[in-house]
Amino acid sequence: MSLVNSALSAILPLFPRWMSKPFAKPYVAGETIDEAILHIKTLNEKGFAVTTDILGEHVKTQDEAEHVTHSYIDLLHAIKAQNLDGHISIKPTHLGIDVSYDVVRDNLFRLLEAAKTTGSFVRIDMENSPYTDASIKLYLEAKLRFENVGPVIQAYLHRSPDDISRLNNGKLNVRICKGIYRETEAVAYQDSQTIQNQFVELVKEVFKGGGYPAIATHDIFIIDEIEDWIEQNQISNDRFEFQVLYGVPMSGKLTALLNKGFKVRQYVPFGNDWFDYSIRRLKENPKIITYVFKNMFKKD
Ligand SMILES: Cc1cc2nc3c(=O)[nH]c(=O)nc-3n(C[C@H](O)[C@H](O)[C@H](O)COP(=O)(O)OP(=O)(O)OC[C@H]3O[C@@H](n4cnc5c(N)ncnc54)[C@H](O)[C@@H]3O)c2cc1C
């Protein structure tokens, strides 16, 4: 299957945008802030919290990075104006880390000021391993000045237990996910069981350190393991949340989690960069093609 996936990911960029749109549509909440707001509202009405991401990454100029920052500030104000339960997720390379560290830090601080004013929160998404150190440094600097910020730690990285112990100071609000980028054996585990085990252990460590884990996965084995542990250890519902990507079918699991009184947050990407973004993701991780095809025939 991986050969087929690789071949498909090589030819998909040759498709015109209109032909590729049906593949991206279930996972992307439109192209504009207004469209995204409608999706967030609908999800809130169904009981879900939201984190929103403006699609894009690897901007090359300071102007572009500032433009992205202003779009996020507009988004924060739109969420506030509609009184929605939503915060934002940003990527360091989208806010200008490839331009310079100072550019990304200034843009992030500007966003955090706006998020503070609008009563919101900023999640710093984690990109591929060349950015891990700088993203953690960015988080630590931001956390000195702002409460409303949290990092992401990827369960597939060998370094992640050390990162969690370093960050776990009782005030940590961290998303734990498996990690989506293709990484070498030198930096990341490759087998799924080791990654599952490390994921569960990282979440437990966050709890033990008094932190707040955002458990971001569609893997039912991991969700069930953590649910059991939470029950055994009588962890209250306000100490964690589950997170999923918008549009990924979960065979009724999301409703079950909501019915248990757990917070479930959907990650909702939008923006006119959906085509390039989807293609880059597919090339990095052709496994996504299998998901897309599988999910086209599934219902939630
Ligand atoms: C809220 C959220 C935020 C994330 N943020 C980051 C981040 O900052 N950095 C990062 O590196 N990664 C991030 N990820 C991606 C994550 O690292 C994984 O690559 C992704 O979630 C797939 O892993 P899984 O735990 O769902 O398990 P898997 O075993 O990969 O997936 C379990 C099942 O879920 C379904 N599924 C999973 N992913 C998809 C998909 N994309 N499309 C369709 N179906 C799918 C499939 O049916 C699959 O069989 C995030 C994921 C979530 C849910």
In terms of Cβ atoms closer than 10 Å to its own Cβ (0-12, 13-18, 19+), residue 228 is: exposed
How many whole angstroms from its chain centre is CA 139?
15
What band does 299 get if pLDDT is binned at 50, 70 and 90? very low
**Between residues 9 and 29, the one the model is more confident about:** 29
Q: How far away, in angstroms, is 179 Cα from ligand 1 center?
A: 7
Q: How far away, in angstroms, is 71 Cα from ligand 1 center?
A: 26
Q: How far away, in angstroms, is 44 Cα from ligand 1 center?
A: 21
Whether 300 shows a pLDDT value over 60: the answer reads: no
What band does 293 get if pLDDT is binned at 50, 70 and 90? low
Which residues have a catalytic role annotated?
Answer: 125, 175
Among the residue ranges 87-91, 137-141, 166-170, 273-277, the one predicted with the least confidence is 273-277
Percent of the chain with pLDDT over 70: 84
Q: Domain total for the chain?
A: 1
The C-alpha atoms of residue 119 and residue 175 are separated, in whole angstroms, by 19
Whether 54 shows a pLDDT value over 80: the answer reads: yes
* CATH (domain of 48): 3.20.20.220
Domain assignment present for residue 275? The answer is no
Check pocket membership of 126 for ligand 1, CB cut-off 6 A.
yes
**Between residues 7 and 39, the one the model is more confident about:** 39
Q: What average pLDDT score do residues 45-55 get?
A: 97
Domain assignment present for residue 286? The answer is no
Contacts of 208 (CB under 8 A, 6+ apart): none
Domain assignment present for residue 78? The answer is yes
- Which residue's CA is the nearest one to ligand 1's atom 45? 291
pLDDT, residue 268, reads 95
Count of all residues that appear for the chain in the document: 300
Domain assignment present for residue 127? The answer is yes
pLDDT tens, 81-136? 999 999 999 999 999 999 999 999 999 999 999 999 999 999 999 999 999 999 99
Q: Residue for token digits 């940003």?
A: 90
In terms of Cβ atoms closer than 10 Å to its own Cβ (0-12, 13-18, 19+), residue 271 is: buried
What band does 260 get if pLDDT is binned at 50, 70 and 90? very high
Domain assignment present for residue 129? The answer is yes
Whether 295 shows a pLDDT value over 60: the answer reads: no
Q: How far away, in angstroms, is 197 Cα from ligand 1 center?
A: 16
Contacts of 255 (CB under 8 A, 6+ apart): none
At residue 229's C-alpha, the angle toward residues 226 and 233, to 5°, is 140
Check pocket membership of 248 for ligand 1, CB cut-off 6 A.
yes
Pocket probe for ligand 1: among 5, 131, 177, 289, the residue whose CB has the most ligand atoms within 8 Å is: 177
pLDDT tens, 201-210? 999 999 999 9
Domain assignment present for residue 293? The answer is no
Domain assignment present for residue 298? The answer is no
Q: Residue 192 is part of which domain span?
A: 29-270
